[in-house]
Structure 1
Amino acid sequence: MTEPGELPIPDDRRARLRAADADRELVHEILSAAMAHGSLSPAEYEERAGKAVLAKTFGDLDVLTDDLPVAQLGVAMPAASLSPGPRVTGGSADAAVRHRLAIMSGSELSGTAVVADQLTATAIMGGVELDLREVEFTAPVLTVQCVAIMGGVEIKVPDGVTVEIGGLGVMGGFSGKSRKASRPGAPVVRVTGLALMGGVDVKYVPRDEPDA
């Protein structure tokens, strides 16, 4: 049986089945966490992430993660089943957004979306824009794990939240200033990750300010 927090054990029938976009996005989240954990180098991550974009079957995806310590990476896994099928969620936290991915393209999150306690933003030669001004938080602390490789992640945060900015920049960097909210019990947005020849930009934008 598959233990909680582990990927299903590959079998011949499952390996032949077609994967969906959600399955490819889950693999990208695992690969991002593995690089942040030190299990993958940036070059290995980039190679596997490119293969994940082109993957057609579960077998194509399984080979990208079967040597990784998935249970130790802290990635929220869907409930295991005997065969792939619709994923049933049980509440706003389970259905919350957990990742945004842009590979030579763009991706954004805005409006009243529900976000999980950890949100992964991956930009490889592309751009991810996260507008957190109206989102619904499901936990007191939202950790935004950024991976910007020759790409950029822009994060818009409103007044009234505490922001902590960290992360590692290699020929790239994180811009913006950490600050503490004056209101006790305000949500915390923690920005971390890796910027490799790319950038992560945190901007403070009032809720009522229109988009440029």
Structure 2
Amino acid sequence: MRMAELSRESGVPVPTIKYYLREGLLPAGERTGRNQARYDEAHVRRLKLVRALVDIGGMTIAGVREVLDAIDEPEPSLHHVLGVAQHGLPVLAADPDPAGRDWAIARVEEVAAEHGWELKEDDPVVAALVGVLCVLRDLGNTVLADRLPDYADAAERLAEADLGILDGLTATESIVEAAVVGTMLGDAMLAALRRIAHQQASARRFET
């Protein structure tokens, strides 16, 4: 297919496709003449993945490139690729209070040990969780922080459900796309469900 058809099939505008080509996010097509190239379904899949990483995942171009480099390794490790993708997703960060940082780290490490989780010190998600705990401590809301093990239990069940969606997929690109979309939209779905549950629980507890 020509670039115009590639644009129609993928839903990505031609100028954006050219930009991705210049940035090395999309492999060059098969040359058929001067300033002309032929593309195939592999290019369509790659474009859809890039759009998912950028539009839904909110990744930077540099972050997308890291994910694609991991996918394009001769024998890519799916665990490694998913790790790179997760690492590139934006997280809600909070500047930790130095006075409470050690306390927060200790709480996170305690929960991680209980669940058999292996944490990396440079993981931005871990840093975000530490920051949130520091804010809770600064607000005097340690009651919520004390429920961290309960939240961890629920998160573990959700993670298993999330990854279960990937079982029927075989192509690495499709798995990464589904994981990113599931993480971002899954977060939104979980937030909405949580608010609905809050409304129902509040009605049961407090309405007379």
TM-score of the aligned structures, taking structure 2 as reference length: 0.26
Structure with the higher strand share, 1 or 2? 1
TM-score of the aligned structures, taking structure 1 as reference length: 0.26
Instruction: Specify the structure having the higher radius of gyration (Cα).
Output: 2
The one of the two structures with greater contact order (alpha-carbon pairs below 8 A, sep at least 6) is 2
